[in-house]
Chain A
Amino acid sequence: MTKDEIKHFIARRVARELANGDVVNLGIGLPTLIPQYVPSDVKITLQAENGFIGLCAHDGNIREDGNYYVVDPSGNPAGIEHDGMFFDSSFSFTIIRGGHVDKTILGSMQVAENGDIANWIIPGKAVHGMGGAMDLVVGAKKVIVAMEHTQKGLPKILQRCTYPLTAKGVVDMIVTEMGVMNITPQGIVLSEYNPNFTINEIQAATEAALIISDHLSPMA
């Protein structure tokens, strides 16, 4: 698969995790591909940390001055659903930190078998800041990491994170191009695998020891 195909493959699988009525926050990059794969009979509400629920695509009308009244958390023009609402940043993080987001889906540099996540800073590299990521992973009911399984051939799913943490023990699920994994008190359970890889290949690309689910099935 090309890089682009991998991202869409992961996005398509994550979309199946979303249930009717879910309030969902999507991180930048890969997670923004997910809504196109959500079935039309599943109604989700997207929360945008810059201050609204009901995030949807922009209508495409270009403003010459570049000043848009509705932007997504990356600052790009966006739209709002008919049942949406704008609010200030305090209320936005009341929704996020207060446990009113059902699922947050975001990429990561590292995830550990204890659920630790490191996705905001690489020592020695340019400083970006955590934005809303720390609040999202602490507050959302379910944290799903959607990412490529390795970075330049090196594992990203580790025994312990080596980069500074975004939060401790918060990740529930990891979806990569190789499989679907759940973080449990016993460790990382591989519940689905991509049949293009053997279990041995998936384990070899993973630093943490994988527990193979009794109900292991191919990724659909």
Chain B
Amino acid sequence: MGIIKLISAKEAGDLIKDGMTIMIGGFMTCGTAKAVVNEISAKNLTVICNDAGFPNEGSGRLIARGQVKRLIASHVGLNKQCGELTNSGQMELKLQPQGTLVEQIRAAGAGLGGVLTPTGVGTIVADSSQPTTLEGKQTITVDGKDYLLEKPLHGDVAIIKGFIADESGNIRYKGTMRNFNPLMASACKMVIAEVEQIVPTGSIGPDYVETPHIFVDYLVLNPKED
């Protein structure tokens, strides 16, 4: 959206304010913008991400420091603190099937009112009275088959991780770092992209851009040795 600003990880972290809903890309921290996430100091956050990372790494770091009020994720098993904080009532945890979670994010970015999925029918995922189930679930029958209506998930800020950006903010990923990142970039009011390289505009090439600059507001450069 407009002109891309190159900022530091600290400046990016400071854009996250108390009470915001943020999306953090990555899968077991592969494709997580760790430099930016590490600089977030805001509290009472609602965090939407695939998993709780590892203790003190990725979104797990925000959880460990008590900055997360509500977590919407599909897997938290590799972060013990997550279960502890949930059991003690310090954090609210909502668990969604991975394929449902990503479609809810896509639905928000695509302007849809939700998606219908057969996943979770007949399980506690369909029952909003369960503590780990999102509110307002409905079962809808289409042509004799039951589906769950899963509503869109919007965010204030998406913190995504790319491999290369050009100076306009076009982004390309590498390996399995893509995962939730391009979807989240479409579903939030503001997008911060942490990348490992920044190259002149045009050098990625229109055939190879994976997330277009129109979604990206801020770039953070975090170089890595390859």
Instruction: Kindly list chain B residues whose C-beta atoms are within 8 Å of the C-beta of A165.
Output: 122-124
Report the minimal beta-carbon distance from A132 to chain B, rounded to whole angstroms: 4
CA A203 to CA B67, docked complex, whole Å: 52
User: Any chain A CB within 8 A of the CB of B30?
Assistant: yes
Contact B225 A65 (CB under 8 A): yes
For A97, give its contact among B82, B95, B117, B124 (CB under 8 Å). Answer: B117
Contact indicator per residue, chain B 67-107, by CB within 8 Å of chain A (1) or not (0): 00000011111101011001000000101011110110010
User: Any chain B CB within 8 A of the CB of A67?
Assistant: yes
CA A165 to CA B120, docked complex, whole Å: 9
For B176, give its contact among A70, A130, A134, A138 (CB under 8 Å). Answer: A70
B residues in contact (CB < 8 Å) with A: 27-30, 50-51, 54, 73-78, 80, 82-83, 86, 93, 95, 97-100, 102-103, 106, 117-125, 132, 163, 173-183, 224-225
Contact B183 A90 (CB under 8 A): yes
User: Any chain B CB within 8 A of the CB of A218?
Assistant: no
For A87, give its contact among B123, B174, B178 (CB under 8 Å). Answer: B178
Report the minimal beta-carbon distance from B108 to chain A, rounded to whole angstroms: 12
Contact A132 B27 (CB under 8 A): no
Instruction: Kindly list chain B residues whose C-beta atoms are within 8 Å of the C-beta of A168.
Output: 121-123
Contact B176 A129 (CB under 8 A): no
* Chain A residue total in the interface (Cβ 8 A): 43
Instruction: Kindly list chain B residues whose C-beta atoms are within 8 Å of the C-beta of A133.
Output: 97
User: Any chain B CB within 8 A of the CB of A183?
Assistant: no
Instruction: Kindly list chain A residues whose C-beta atoms are within 8 Å of the C-beta of B83.
Output: 126-127
Instruction: Kindly list chain B residues whose C-beta atoms are within 8 Å of the C-beta of A138.
Output: 118-119, 121
Instruction: Kindly list chain B residues whose C-beta atoms are within 8 Å of the C-beta of A75.
Output: 27-30, 54, 78
Q: Which 4 A-B pairs have the closest CB atoms?
A: A75-B28, A69-B175, A128-B77, A93-B99
